[in-house]
């Protein structure tokens, strides 16, 4: 009953905020409210609220997706013992995101930012098993690195007497680097990409919320807000290379992954790389446009995956799925349409933003090597989607499944998102983004995107047949995120050991520990830190070559 009330309230807020964003856009107005909490010498501790058409439109999309996910959770989380805890965590998660969206002040941004990090940890470990514990720990520790960047930027801005972004000067590169560090950790760009697939240990409604419009998009949104300070600083070039490598790596890894939710998570990572890449080229409204359309069809994709996992008796291996359209036809229809929208199929939601992004890239002066990387990343999206389609629609059902019927309430929650996956791209284009970008190009250049999509289809067929080829070593390298998984395992091992020993010291008196066990503990710590030094040295070398590549 609580979930229905929350869902209804969020839907009303979606309609209200959408109308307000329309009025603000066409009148060209915004509202900024400021509360002076206290002042100490020359430092003003202020709370800012900035409501313009960008923030209000983003809040409306977050509310609409959250409303549908609340409705979906009524059935999905049915029988869950800790349902009240789940509802409260999700509500707090949404409120943290809203606080971050409306804040132009680094202090209030930090409250929302830290709220997202902390509550996402609570949601990832919701099922309280060993896998959830590991995933939650890596998620929270990766995000803490970004929080440190944000805290350092706050301390550096202390010199200006205000934490508002309106007081920031154009040439303060150190502050901008700290904000960039926060952005690439929250949006899981290289080398902090490991936590995003691992966050799939959370319940599927949470995954739908996290990977569409809240946690991972917080970094992109912050970058959109601060971009005008970054575009003349040279930091945007660094972001461009990071985002393109992230797109390429995640697309390649998704072609070799067999876990259904992880494939969709890597797809999110690829799209985040695309948003960051076009943002680094100076087209912030286009990045925001793709952010909104992607949020809608990606949430639908996760909701369909949740129903498929229920049907398959909580199995997520796509090799054991097959002919699911015979059991859950409406869900598979929704899955098919949302996947086509992700591919940028003509006149669906993703087409309007994705095709425009590629056209703008063709018209810019971009390094040929990086252009080829972008085009191959685009084709990988088609190849892993085709592979997923083939397994789910034409594979053999190899697992025992539950007697699970489609639920009308679940279908109703997906219906609005299904409709918006068809029309939201054109709707947003007509209403908000009609006068921002206009492209003129030759037919050959225009057809380049289509050629790469066809190439991606061929790659997908090859990836499906890869079992016939001896590609096991390559598969191991690419599916481990270029061995970044193992690097993080060694980095976090000292913290795990310290945590276990701290628990032991808590439960026992320190003097009862023998000298031998204490020396073993020190030895373990030393080995872990030596491995950490090796990995950090390798990372510094890689970073050096990347900088040299950018310079020359």
Q: Which residue has the higher pLDDT, 165 or 326?
A: 326
pLDDT, one tens digit per residue, over 15-66 is 898 898 998 888 888 888 888 877 777 777 777 888 888 889 999 999 999 8
pLDDT, one tens digit per residue, over 331-345 is 888 898 888 888 888
Residue 285 lies in a domain: yes
Q: Which of 482, 511, 538 is the last residue of a domain?
A: 482
Reported for 276-279, long-range contacts at CB under 8 A and 24+ positions apart, including other chains, are 276/184, 276/187, 276/189, 276/220, 276/223, 276/239, 276/242, 276/243, 276/246, 277/240, 277/243, 277/244, 277/247, 277/374, 278/357, 278/360, 278/361, 279/220, 279/223, 279/224, 279/227, 279/239
Q: Which of 429, 454, 482 is the last residue of a domain?
A: 482
Residue 113 lies in a domain: no
Residue 215 lies in a domain: no
Which pLDDT value is given to residue 509?
44
Residue 129 lies in a domain: no
Same domain? For 444 and 462 the reply is yes
Same domain? For 386 and 298 the reply is yes
Whether the per-residue pLDDT at 532 is higher than 70: the answer is no
Which pLDDT value is given to residue 109?
85
Same domain? For 537 and 453 the reply is no
Whole-model pTM: value is: 0.84
Domain hosting 363: range is 234-482
What value does the mean pLDDT take over residues 170-196? 81
What value does the mean pLDDT take over residues 305-311? 85
Whether the per-residue pLDDT at 525 is higher than 70: the answer is no
Same domain? For 289 and 416 the reply is yes
Same domain? For 450 and 422 the reply is yes
Whether the per-residue pLDDT at 552 is higher than 50: the answer is no
Average pLDDT of the residues of the chain: 79
What value does the mean pLDDT take over residues 320-335? 83
**Highest mean pLDDT pick, 155-164, 192-201, 297-306:** 297-306
Which pLDDT value is given to residue 324?
79
What value does the mean pLDDT take over residues 452-471? 70
Same domain? For 489 and 466 the reply is no
Residue 325 lies in a domain: yes
In this structure, what DSSP letter does residue 407 have?
Answer: P
Write out the H or E segment, with its range, that includes residue 362.
helix 349-362
Same domain? For 258 and 303 the reply is yes
Same domain? For 447 and 491 the reply is no
Whether the per-residue pLDDT at 266 is higher than 80: the answer is yes
Which pLDDT value is given to residue 161?
67
Residue 299: which of 268, 340, 333 has the closest Cα?
Answer: 268
Tell me the two tokens of residue 231: 């575009």
Q: Which residue has the higher pLDDT, 415 or 513?
A: 415
Same domain? For 255 and 394 the reply is yes
Residue 402 lies in a domain: yes
Which pLDDT value is given to residue 138?
81
Same domain? For 507 and 471 the reply is no
Report residue 530's pLDDT band, with 50, 70 and 90 as the boundaries.
low
Residue 210 lies in a domain: no
Domain count across the chain: 2
Same domain? For 370 and 492 the reply is no
Same domain? For 323 and 384 the reply is yes
Residue 27 lies in a domain: no
Q: Which of 482, 508, 529 is the last residue of a domain?
A: 482
pLDDT, one tens digit per residue, over 353-409 is 888 888 888 888 888 888 888 888 888 888 888 888 888 887 777 656 555 667 788
pLDDT, one tens digit per residue, over 64-89 is 998 888 888 888 887 778 888 888 88
pLDDT, one tens digit per residue, over 465-512 is 655 455 666 667 777 777 776 666 666 666 666 655 655 554 444 444
């Amino acid at each position: 009953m609580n979930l229905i009330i929350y869902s209804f309230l969020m839907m009303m807020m979606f309609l209200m905020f959408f109308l307000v964003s329309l009025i603000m856009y066409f009148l060209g107005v915004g509202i900024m409210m400021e509360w002076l909490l206290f002042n100490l010498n020359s430092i003003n501790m202020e709370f800012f609220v900035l409501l313009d058409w960008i923030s209000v439109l983003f809040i409306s999309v977050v509310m609409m997706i959250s409303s549908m996910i609340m409705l979906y959770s009524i059935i999905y989380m049915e029988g869950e013992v800790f349902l009240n805890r789940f509802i409260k965590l999700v509500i707090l998660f949404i409120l943290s995101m809203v606080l971050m969206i409306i804040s132009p002040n680094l202090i209030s941004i930090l409250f929302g930012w830290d709220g997202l990090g902390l509550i996402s940890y609570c949601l990832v470990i919701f099922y309280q098993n060993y896998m959830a514990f590991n995933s939650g720990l890596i998620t929270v520790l990766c995000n803490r690195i970004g929080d440190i960047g944000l805290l350092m930027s706050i301390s550096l801005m202390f010199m200006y007497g205000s934490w508002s972004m309106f007081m920031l000067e154009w040439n303060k590169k150190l502050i901008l680097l700290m904000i960039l560090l926060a952005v690439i950790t929250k949006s899981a760009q290289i080398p902090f990409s490991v936590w995003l697939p691992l966050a799939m240990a959370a319940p599927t409604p949470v995954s739908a919320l996290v990977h569409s419009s809240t946690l991972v998009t917080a970094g992109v949104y912050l970058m959109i807000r601060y971009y005008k300070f970054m575009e003349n600083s040279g930091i945007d070039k660094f972001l461009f290379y990071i985002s393109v490598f992230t797109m390429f790596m995640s697309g390649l890894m998704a072609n070799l992954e067999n876990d259904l939710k992880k494939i969709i998570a890597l797809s999110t990572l690829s799209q985040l790389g695309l948003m960051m890449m076009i943002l680094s080229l100076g087209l912030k409204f286009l990045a925001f446009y793709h952010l909104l359309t992607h949020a809608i069809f990606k949430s639908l994709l996760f909701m369909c995956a949740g129903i498929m996992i229920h049907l398959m008796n909580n199995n997520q291996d796509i090799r054991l799925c097959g002919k699911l359209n015979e059991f859950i036809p409406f869900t598979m229809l929704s899955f098919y349409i949302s996947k086509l929208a992700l591919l940028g199929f003509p006149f669906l939601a993703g087409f309007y933003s994705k095709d425009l992004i590629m056209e703008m890239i063709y018209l810019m002066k971009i390094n040929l090597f990086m252009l080829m990387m972008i085009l191959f990343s685009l084709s990988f999206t088609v190849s892993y989607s085709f592979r997923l389609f083939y397994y789910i629609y034409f594979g053999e059902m190899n697992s025992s499944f539950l007697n699970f019927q489609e639920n009308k309430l679940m279908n109703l929650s997906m219906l609005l998102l299904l409709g918006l996956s068809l029309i939201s791209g054109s709707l947003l284009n007509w209403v908000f983004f009609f006068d921002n970008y206009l492209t003129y190009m030759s037919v050959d250049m225009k057809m380049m995107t289509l050629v790469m999509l066809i190439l991606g289809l061929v790659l997908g067929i090859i990836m499906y047949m890869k079992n016939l080829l001896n590609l096991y070593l390559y598969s191991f390298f690419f599916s481990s995120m270029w061995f970044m998984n193992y690097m993080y395992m060694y980095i976090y091992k000292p913290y795990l050991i310290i945590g276990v020993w701290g628990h032991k010291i808590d439960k026992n008196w320190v003097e009862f520990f023998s000298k031998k066990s204490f020396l073993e503990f020190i030895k373990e710590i030393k080995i872990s830190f030596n491995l950490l030094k090796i990995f950090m040295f390798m990372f510094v070398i890689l970073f050096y070559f990347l900088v040299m590549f950018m310079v020359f």
